[in-house]
Structure 1
Amino acid sequence: MMNNPRRKFIKMGALLGVSSAIMPLQFCSPAKKEESATIEEAKAAKSKLNSFGIQLYSVKDEMANDAKATMAALAGFGYKQFEGFDGGKGVLWGMDPKEFKTLTSDLGVSMVASHANVFENLDAQAEAAKEAGLEYLICPWIGGQETIDAYKKFADKFNEAGATLKSHGLKFAYHNHDYTFETLEGVMPQDVLMENTDPELVDFEMDMYWVYVAGVDPSAYLAKYPNRFKLCHLKDAEPDKGDGEERGVLLGAGEIPFSNLVKESTQLGMEYFIVEQERFVGTNPMEAAEKNAAYLKNTFEY
């Protein structure tokens, strides 16, 4: 903590029975300059985040019970964007595309994307997604592969899916886990996916939690491939206890430096910031969603 000259003299004045009101002005002016500089530093440290979203899997049980009420509550917390998943009723939770789009419009939110099985019935999924107002369909999982050649084959599949979605006016993205950031045959699989996919057809969604716990610096990796990651998952991690368990915690309660990450990533092409939480300690999914929204509102400048 920096020493504050004004505080020292106020304390001295109190000890000597002298009112701080009659202290010489030269003792006050440095503190004012310091206070002004501190405020400016705080402003500069904040990132400009106009809006943020939530991956609805974070509240999957609530979505299964009452999707409309859950989405309304999340909008009330301040989320302006939703990212979906297939919870057994399709990515639109049994609603037809027009009904779904009307719902999100009424709530004042946009359904930016959904995780989906992009390797089956993609044309039909794309038609419904486009009508419902989505921008992306995202491949959420391919599993760890045994060879680098297997990852190259997935890169080809990503290009094909991207071309199909582009023909429908949509975009394709791949969401990582830790396994693509673990070296295989002397190569990082994520690099293979990045370098063997067409930037015009394939975007990426960085799950910052999984990159971080794999031992890779998310910021450095974003800088390695600027403008390739258009979406990200914000999920914090508590310090590693060495037990191999998941480390997910409320935003701001862990050790991932999101203030810097968000600021830096916006300069590297990131467009969508999506909260996700799958582990709940001392809280529950809806309470965590509300607290995470409050964290983003209070941490970042709008």
Structure 2
Amino acid sequence: MARPIVAAQMYTVRDFCKVPKDIVESCKKVAKIGYKAIQTSGMGTVEPMPAADLRKVCDSEGLTICATHISFDLMRDNPAQVIEDHHALGCKWAGIGGAPRQYQENEQTWVKFAKEASEVAAKLSEGGIGFVYHNHSHEFARHGKRTVMQILFEESDPKYFMFEPDTYWVAHGGGSPVAWIRKLAGRCPVVHLKDFAIKPDRAQFYTEIGEGNLDWPGILQACEECGTRWMPVEQDTCPGDPFNSLKISYENLKRWGYR
């Protein structure tokens, strides 16, 4: 299988992506680090950048837009617009950062979400766009005998409902990133790479890839063997310059043969 491609999750540098001018500069910076792809998230919060304009910027910097994070409501209520926007971006995967609150109450509401999201994903598929679901740690809470992740895996349509497992949040929820990537084989085209570290006072924190405690050889091998195409690097908070954190992560991944 082809090796997955490393991408920069632009949520990491969201404070430098609020207006189009800053988005352009941030794309230039991540391309200079060596990244060949980005995932859009948290960008244009003050002034959005039109999809076609962002595509031009990324094309000029040799960047592919591998995935997005948008609202589930937009996907459900206006799938035609989502399809149009993603084609304008040259982007295959439309992602959501989690389920809306009303679906998070109990096992029945999570099952309802799995079914409804599968229907939305099927509509997007008609336009050539795929759906991916990004987890946090609350998907490892149990409702009855199943975790939410198990509910989503078992109750969704495997043809259309794909996953975007986040390595940090899987571990934070008590799961094994390697085991979950393998469980999701063929259903995780995008995997969020995020490292997990612990302070002496037991506080957990985000850190650069390879600087924390996760099993990166196992994670990367699982991604490669399970059909993952894109591996966006994300760090929700950074100790200093987030572009430097993206660089450290990229260099460590490059040292392991991934770029």
Pair in the same fold by TM > 0.5: yes
Between the aligned partners of 2:231 and 2:89, the Cα distance in structure 1 is: 20
* Distance in structure 2 (CA, Å) of the matches to 1:216 and 1:253: 20
1:252 and 2:210 aligned: yes
Q: Does residue 110 of structure 2 align to residue 151 of structure 1?
A: yes
1:129 equivalenced with 2:86 (yes/no): yes
Provide the residue aligned with 1:210 in structure 2. 169
Q: Are positions 1:277 and 2:244 aligned together? A: no
Contact 2:34 2:250 in 1 (8 A): yes
In 1, Cα distance between equivalents of 2:58 and 2:143: 42
Q: Contact conserved, 2:121 with 2:160, CA < 8 A, in 1?
A: yes
**How far off is 1:184 after superposition?**
2.1
Secondary structure of the equivalent of 2:190?
A: strand
Would the alpha carbon gap of residues 145 and 68 (structure 1) be closer, same or farther in structure 2, given more than 3 Å must change? Answer: same
Q: Secondary structure at the match of 1:57?
A: helix
Alpha-carbon offset, residue 214 of structure 1: 1.3
Q: Distance in 2 between matches of 1:141 and 1:242?
A: 30
1:53 aligns to what? 7
Distance 1:108 1:127 in 2: 22
Query: Which letter maps to 1:220?
Result: A
Which structure ranks higher in relative contact order (CA pairs < 8 Å, sequence separation ≥ 6)?
Answer: 2
Taking the aligned partners of 1:128 and 1:224, their CA distance within structure 2 comes to 31
Q: CA–CA distance in 2 between the matches of 1:74 and 1:123?
A: 31
2:140 partner letter: F
What is the percent sequence identity of the aligned residues? 24
- State the aligned residue count: 252
Deviation at 1:136, TM superposition (A): 0.9
Spell out, residue by residue over 1:57-107, the C-alpha distance to the aligned partner (whole angstroms, 9 max, x if none): 0000111150001001101101111101243559xx633333222221111
Please state if 1:63 is matched with 2:22: no
1:115 has 2:83 as partner? no
Kept in 1, the 8 Å contact 2:37–2:64? The answer is: yes
Larger Rg computed on CA atoms? 1
Provide the C-alpha distance between the structure 2 equivalents of 1:148 and 1:276, rounded to a whole number of angstroms.
Answer: 29
How far has the Cα of 1:240 moved from its partner?
A: 6.4
1:299 to partner: Cα distance: 2.4
- How many Å apart are 1:269 and its aligned residue? 1.9
How far apart in 1 are the matches of 2:201 and 2:187? Answer: 32
TM-score, structure 2 normalization: 0.89
Q: CA RMSD in A?
A: 2.2
Structure 1, gaps ≥5 residues long: 1-46
Moved more, 148-157 or 47-56: 47-56
